[in-house]
Amino acid sequence: MKKSKTVLVAAALLVLSSEIFAGEPGTAVTKPYASLWGADSQVKKKSYHLIGSPKEMDEVWSRHRGNTDFDYNGRPEVDFDRCLVVAIFQGESANTAGIECTGILEGATSLTFRFRNRWYQTAVTAKRASAYGFFVIPRTRKPIVIEEDVHQGIGQPPIWKERIRLEPKPGIGG
């Protein structure tokens, strides 16, 4: 009985993941090496960043923390010889715990990075938030297509909307 439940759960996850991550045939789906997300960023306007060096990380991290001087408090260490960081800021909003990456699809000519907000409901008053996510991914020379799940209904399948294409700067890539 236990084995049949395990098989059933595995089959359900396979079907669900094929809906969420459907891409080109033969596309591999992965997750970031590491994720750091929350709803208390000091960046109040929507923006997307592809970070390929410690200097860029220092600049984006300091803006996120709301400091004009470098602020290393909580800043993740990243091996930029092997990795890049995708940073997403959703700006001012409400009732979100942050941003999550739902998957990275590697195609022949690009990487597609898919994300969604971690929305929640409140009974009366909305809670102000400024959602963000930092995601450590493998270093690549391919353009990175950032797509957001914009579906509105609970239990509805994802609706992917391209937000931006980020081109790695010269010198970035594996």
Cα–Cα dist 133/36, whole Å: 6
Contact 148, 116 (CB under 8 A): yes
Domain membership of residue 6 (yes or no) is: no
Cα–Cα dist 38/60, whole Å: 15
**Residue 162 sits in which domain range?**
25-166
Question: 84-119, pLDDT tens digit by residue?
Answer: 999 999 999 988 899 999 999 999 999 999 999 998
Cα–Cα dist 42/65, whole Å: 6
Backbone CA torsion sign across 100, 161, 168, 39: negative
Domain membership of residue 174 (yes or no) is: no
User: Could you give the C-alpha distances from 54 to 35, 36, 49, 72, in angstroms and in order?
Assistant: 17, 17, 13, 11
Domain membership of residue 11 (yes or no) is: no
Question: 51-96, pLDDT tens digit by residue?
Answer: 999 999 999 999 999 886 766 677 889 999 999 999 999 999 988 8
Domain membership of residue 121 (yes or no) is: yes
Domain membership of residue 14 (yes or no) is: no
Total domain count, the chain: 1
Sheet holding 128-138, edge to edge: 34-38, 128-138, 83-94, 47-51
Tell me phi and psi for residue 116, to 5 degrees: -150, 160
Domain membership of residue 90 (yes or no) is: yes
Domain membership of residue 97 (yes or no) is: yes
Domain membership of residue 106 (yes or no) is: yes
